[in-house]
Amino acid sequence: MLNAKPLKLPMDSHLKLTADKGDIISDPSLYQRLLGKLIYLFITRPDIAFSGILLASSSVATLTAYCDNDWAGCPMTRRSTTGCCIFLGDSPISWKAKKQHVTAKFSAEAEYRAMALTTCEVTWLTTLLQDLGLKNLPPTVSNVTIKFLLLLLLILFYMNALNM
């Protein structure tokens, strides 16, 4: 990484795309054909689709999960986007980004949904790895944002105050 050169992106990385702004493509068939070919390759050639997943031979077999969200990130629906990445040792084995089904009223709710999605993914991966013969997996290390932990403590304090 010391010899890595920064890349200038041709567009703003914080751009929020909407359906009502911008120019409509006059002939979308070229884009549709290209997308269809990529989907066909992904389904029929798993050696190409998963060629980037390499497991490090020297790392410890520990699942580490990271998750975060973009609270109310969609400018049209105000729904949040959840993202998670799960590592086995030093190698990424699962990653996901998904728009949440409901609009979260608070950022803590969106963070909670992100944690729930990540927990489901970790549970499934743990079962899969055990079925593949990796029986003695240590507990999963979950890395959440400090903001979520502080909000969770605030909610627990508030709920405790209501019960007194």
**CATH number of the domain within which 106 lies:** 3.10.20.370
Name all contacts of 129-133 with Cβ < 8 Å and 24+ positions apart: 129/63, 129/88
Residue 108: exposure state from Cβ atoms within 10 A (0-12, 13-18, ≥19)? middle
Distance CA 15, CA 123 (A): 34
Within a domain: 47: no
Please give the C-alpha separations between residue 129 and each of 60, 92, 119, 135, in angstroms, as whole numbers: 14, 14, 15, 7
Domain extent for 66: 62-163
Spatial CA neighbour of 137 closest among 65, 55, 60, 61: 61
Within a domain: 159: yes
Distance CA 122, CA 110 (A): 18
Within a domain: 21: no
Q: Please give the pLDDT value at position 106.
A: 82
Within a domain: 45: no
Structure token digits, residue 61: 């077999």
Within a domain: 54: no
How many structural domains compose the chain?
1
Within a domain: 86: yes
Q: Please give the pLDDT value at position 131.
A: 93
Q: Please give the pLDDT value at position 147.
A: 61
In this prediction, the residues of the chain whose per-residue pLDDT falls under 50 are none
Within a domain: 14: no
Distance CA 95, CA 113 (A): 16
Within a domain: 139: yes
